[in-house]
Amino acid sequence: MYSSASFINSIGTAVPTHQIPQTQIARFMAEALGMDERDQRRLSALYRQTRIDQRHSVLPDYARSRGEYTFYPNTEGLEPFPTVGQRMKIYREEAVPLAIRAIEDCLATYLTPDGHGFDRQRITHIVTVSCTGLYAPGPDIEIIEALGLPGTTQRLAINFMGCYGAFNGIKAADAIVRSQPDAVVLVVCVELCTLHFQKKTDLDNLLSNALFADGAAAVLIESKPRADRSMRLRSFFCDLLPSGKADMAWHITDYGFEMTLTSEVPSVIQQGIGQMLSRLLETSGLTIGDIGSYAMHPGGRRILEVIEGQLGLDNADNRYAYEVLRKFGNMSSATVLFVLKAIWADMEQAAPTDKQTFNILSCAFGPGLTLESMILEATFCGETQVVDEHQKMQAVSVV
């Protein structure tokens, strides 16, 4: 027996406790990189242009001055610079607790029609997504233990795919649920990007240091929708732009994971985004006029502006992505799920006028240069309708 559909039925998010203003992070970077007054002014201008107000990190150092660091050496030049091993130690300590907070947020908002909370023992599969840390036995096993799930819970780890990793986690969950209608899949993205600060002054590294942050997100995917709201996974489309292969990359070096993110990325995306989304819409039997809301991965301000230019959108269409970028920065794979959660919490406003079902177009980008996209069909009902659904369920149970 196969299911004809799969649904996102809950979304949860979490960020570390260290919330650091973008201006304060810029001061840390200027001090760490030994910048003179002129370069500090240029760096401050770059940070202002990001449209990020604050970011979160598992490391408190970015809010401190030399002499107060707990992870980086309190020396000029931060020498000896932290190794991969030192960074992965922090990842092992911090990733799963942050992921669990996102999972708890996800499950806490899921109420059954009779008003009961979600029974986590229903979870049959765990899919973990991360590109900022690796170890085994890994987060998937630790999450199962923390949630008190049986050892028979099936696991899948999706690693090192960058900002589009959540799409592959969701596609895997979609395939599982369609082939096993009784499956309940929890997809968990956790990224600690700030562990991988690189002490380099070239523009690409300065840009990476200005954007990335830490965060986690979780989505619950099932074969049937919730009574009050859900997002049906309607279609997916992926494409590669080899011309941008060298412009976005992610390599493990002796001193952390090193991101290559050149200023050419928006131009490469501009060349391919229109064709990719046209093919996605064609696959779905839709036109751009059928899209009611947008959940774009806010990889950076310029990327969002390029998407708007290619699709004929404005800032208001991308308002959820801009708000996530402003509050949290780029949290790699978890970021697009923050955008979807913002739409989830605001469905009545996100939906076109007088509609309770609408399509969401979502996409993200990563090494390759990879373009991932999907269309979701969001459905919600008002408070009166939810009450009616609950009454129907109670009547059925009485009978």
By annotation, the residues acting in catalysis are: 163
User: Is 384 buried (19+), middle (13-18) or exposed (0-12) by CB count in 10 A?
Assistant: exposed
- Please check whether residue 330 is in contact with residue 54, taking contact to mean a CB–CB distance below 8 angstroms: no
Q: Is the dihedral of CA 29, 32, 37, 38 positive or negative?
A: negative
| DSSP three-state, residue 372 | strand
State the maximum Cα–Cα separation within the chain, in Å, rounded to a whole number.
77
Instruction: Determine the Cα–Cα distance for residues 257 and 5; give it in Å rounded to an integer.
Output: 38
- Please check whether residue 193 is in contact with residue 216, taking contact to mean a CB–CB distance below 8 angstroms: no
Q: Which of 166, 145, 164, 149 is nearest to 96 (CA)?
A: 145
Q: How far is CA 371 from the centre of its chain?
A: 15
Question: CA of 23: how far to CAs of 257, 297, 351, in Å?
Answer: 24, 23, 35
Instruction: Determine the Cα–Cα distance for residues 359 and 231; give it in Å rounded to an integer.
Output: 9
First-to-last CA distance in the chain? Answer: 28
- Please check whether residue 84 is in contact with residue 197, taking contact to mean a CB–CB distance below 8 angstroms: no
- Residue 387 has phi, psi (to 5 degrees) of -60, -45
Instruction: Determine the Cα–Cα distance for residues 215 and 227; give it in Å rounded to an integer.
Output: 29
Beta-strand runs (E) in the chain: 7-14, 18-21, 54-57, 125-130, 154-159, 185-192, 214-222, 229-240, 248-253, 256-261, 291-296, 357-366, 370-380
Please list the residues that pair with 220 across neighbouring strands: 10, 186
